[in-house]
Chains A and B, each alone.
Chain A
Amino acid sequence: MSRFLPLLALLAAFAFSPALAAEKNVQIRLLPEKTELKGGDTVTVGIEETIAPSWHTYWANPGDSGTIARIVWKGIDGLEAAPIQWPLPKKLPIGPLTNYGYEGKAVLLQDLTLPENLPEGPQTISATIDILVCHEICIPETHEASFTINNGSDSYSEAIAEARGFLPVEMGWATTLAEEAGDLVVTITTDMPSAFSKLESINLFPEEWGLILYPETTRATREGDVLTLRHKRGERALADIPVSKLVITYEDAAGTKKGFRVSTLTETAGAGGDEKTAMDVGIFKAILFALIGGIVLNLMPCVFPVLSMKALSLVQLKDKDIAIARKHGVAYTLGILACFGLIASILIALKAGGMQVGWGFQLQHPVIILFLAYLFFLLGLNLAGFYEINFGLSNVGHKLTAKEGLSGSFFTGALATLVATPCTAPFMGVAMGYALTQPAYISLIVFMALGFGLALPYLAMTFIPAVRHVLPRPGIWMEKLRQFLAFPMFASACWLLWVLSQQISHMGQLTALLGMLALVFGIWLVKQRPSQKFWRIVVLVLAIASFGFTISTFTGMKQMPSSDEIAVAQADENWEEFSRPLLEKYLESGDPIFVNMTAAWCITCKVNEKVAIATEDTQKLFADLGVKYLKGDWTNQNPAITHYLEEYGRSGVPIYVFYGPKDKDTGARPEPVVLPQILTPSIVENALNTK
């Protein structure tokens, strides 16, 4: 009953004295994260300001005028309150002046620590909140608010988690201040430079007064991983401010407002910097990984058939044709490199343009998945002998000739690249992650190394006759092998359709399947060669209609906004959907945390989950150790996950990170452990059990 009393009071206030409600321009609610507490506990409380339209309240530094909210807690003796955590501010121009503050709604957070000798039974904690609210004029308001613990009152963990999402993220990035030509120059060395692509959206909010002139705009530039902000200097001498805390807000590629907080205190900056360099990979290592990754790609089910067919065409070559073979090898390699160069350029350009993309980004759009599904299906049909069109694969039984085949080999190379994209080889994660955080030309070099690795086995065969001699003599087996190789292609198509099913609606799936049907029908029609002119026209029209339908299916591929459906479908499994606030929350608690970033199109991810994570033993281990299991789904674009991947120097999934439990004595958490990209149950077990 007691929990309804405030509600009744509120209703009464609205019903009987509407004037009373209108008197205040801010409504305050206290939102405790937990209400069942014992002595010594710390609880986060949200101070929710609901601000009347066109009015505003103030941030930690109110700007040219205004004052910050003052909160005095009482109700329990020995209650300790930590400093207020302020959500990201907004720039509020008022005539020639500018304030930093909030409009609409803001939730300040404050940690309260209860005394060890907390009395038994329900306790009421109250706050006196003095807050200045202004639009043209300013009105100071005093609010009394309270909440009760240990009587079963509502807690607001979700609202608090949401509010944490609006706090600036603390970053230990090295930050220096300087003065130059009337500007304050802030130099920040960041480890996620690509996040700051919308440079014009960047705003500097110093917590100290007088550093900058608030109405002026922040001018940001970025070179490599150094972010430089320039802002007209304020009146206060730099020497007066030994340590400056700065909040920097920006928009990510999706236009979401984000922010981080740095300090010019040199000690913390140094420590943060060291930690990150350990994750750097040297450029030569990255190239080597990329090269090996490329070679391994050849063995992936999607690429292997392509390589095999190419290899078979070599069987018939005599040694005297070696010059021709070499030309084909080079053409194939060039095809791959051209295609890789193209994808890499698009990727780099998108990054530069501010998109949160990583390797595998090609697969985040259903149109591309559908295209690849059709492509694999067509290749499969071709290999199975349903129709004969030279994809560069069907020259089995024909001799390669210098004249006709070279462009074919070039396009086979391009095709190999296209079909290789879904298969992220394990070695590629680190190399790609490295590549994408580097300047464009290094990115390109690493991508080229990957492409070269992909081309290498075939190139070797064309250049070294001895390798060719390993292959058996030509014969009927080649035709059978070719037909057999259709099946990996169909399998790849099946898998892509399943990926598609994660991205689009059920109707979209049906459309995709009908598209395939129309594709086969169209091919069958084209194969018909009726003698009468009438039937030829009918066949032609129907074939065009069929192919037209297949092409039209691309327009129906609309991405679903989020992965909610998947989350709901698998809610019975013991994991929670990854979000930054949730991770931060668990990091604050002492529990161990396991983060798994996955995507429907990532085969490695699915295999790892099946083999090493979703097993009874591992799940039992999670339960025994009280591991919080967070899973992020990168099937569709998700900037929060891309951000996270970048923090660990990756640009693609999977990534598995284990955060060990806090030490009971020191309260410190051990360094997070990044698990390998190929998991076995014992790898997971070892990671979880190391202290």
Chain B
Amino acid sequence: MKSIFLALAALAFIASPMTAHAAPKIGEAAPEFTGTDSNGNVHKLSDFKGKTVVLEWTNPQCPFVVKHYDSGNMQKLQTEYTAKDVIWLSINSSAIGKEGNQSAEEANTYMDDKKSAATARILDPTGVIGKAYEAKVTPHMYVINKEGVLVYEGAIDDNDSNKQEDIATSKNYVKAALDALAEGKPIESAQTKAYGCGVKYE
């Protein structure tokens, strides 16, 4: 199944005209980016070659992000997988003056407050990284394998409600993808419909 999917994706790529920034595609190299985190450290995707990377688009005021943070669901995932040597980058692409935009200080306070276990929180108020990945919502999740290839893109789980109590009965796509990677198995759902609030770009 996966090979058919890849073949189709490749075909689609050949058939489509080259655009200025090629949209990220499952099975292809994830777009390179450089971003500064809330502690002023600069991160490049290529720095993490050899490690699995999770990108999590976030906006502290979005009700769907609140669902996964107030329930502790997101932090639990972060804790579990960073312990397994996965790099977890939370990316905030809310533009200055828009909902959810954070200064470095605010971001650090928030991370402490929420007990975030992400490797780093990258601030992307110009939306450069968000647009390179065509991140549409918060939370929009991406998984990049050790070779730098995008292997998962979409929702955090299969229940697009905003209710915390639904988390227990939802199938978590990110967890499934990371576990499959670790076991060397194919990822069953490599692309799903991301749900949530629109990213507050400029």
Contacts and interface: CB of A to CB of B under 8 A. Distances in A.
Are A and B part of the same complex? Answer: yes
Interface of A: 64-68, 70, 94-97, 99, 130, 132, 134, 136-140, 179-182, 209-210, 233, 235-240
A691 to B, nearest CB: 48
12 contacts: A64-B137, A65-B136, A65-B196, A65-B199, A67-B161, A68-B160, A70-B161, A95-B202, A96-B131, A134-B197, A137-B61, A182-B15
Contacts of A181: 15-17
A209 B160 CA distance: 13
B63 A138 contact: yes
B99 A237 contact: no
A94 B198 contact: yes
A66 B15 contact: no
Contacts of B195: 65-67
Contacts of A134: 197-198
B33 interface: no
Contacts of A66: 195, 197-198
B12 A130 contact: no
A140 B198 contact: no
B198 A237 contact: no
B193 interface: yes
B98 A136 contact: yes
Classify chain B: how many residues form its interface, as a range. Answer: 35 or more
B62 interface: yes
Interface string B20-42: 00010100000000000000000
B137 A65 contact: yes
A233 B14 CA distance: 13
A236 B155 CA distance: 14
Contact of B193 (A138, A179, A182, A209): A209
B193 A95 contact: no
Given A65-B196, A239-B5, A233 B16 contact: yes
Given A64-B137, A139-B63, A239-B4, A179 B198 contact: no
A99 B195 CA distance: 12
B contacts with A: majority SS: loop
A179 B15 CA distance: 8
Nearest to A236: B191
A65 B198 contact: yes
Contacts of B25: 235
A66 B137 CA distance: 8
Interface string B179-202: 000000000000101011111111
A214 to B, nearest CB: 9
Contacts of B64: 67, 138
Given A66-B195, A140-B63, A182-B15, 9 more contacts: A95-B198, A95-B201, A132-B63, A137-B197, A180-B15, A181-B17, A233-B12, A235-B25, A239-B8
Given A136-B99, A139-B63, A239-B5, A67 B153 contact: no
Contacts of B134: 235
Nearest to B16: A182
Interface string B81-101: 000000000000000001100
B44 interface: no
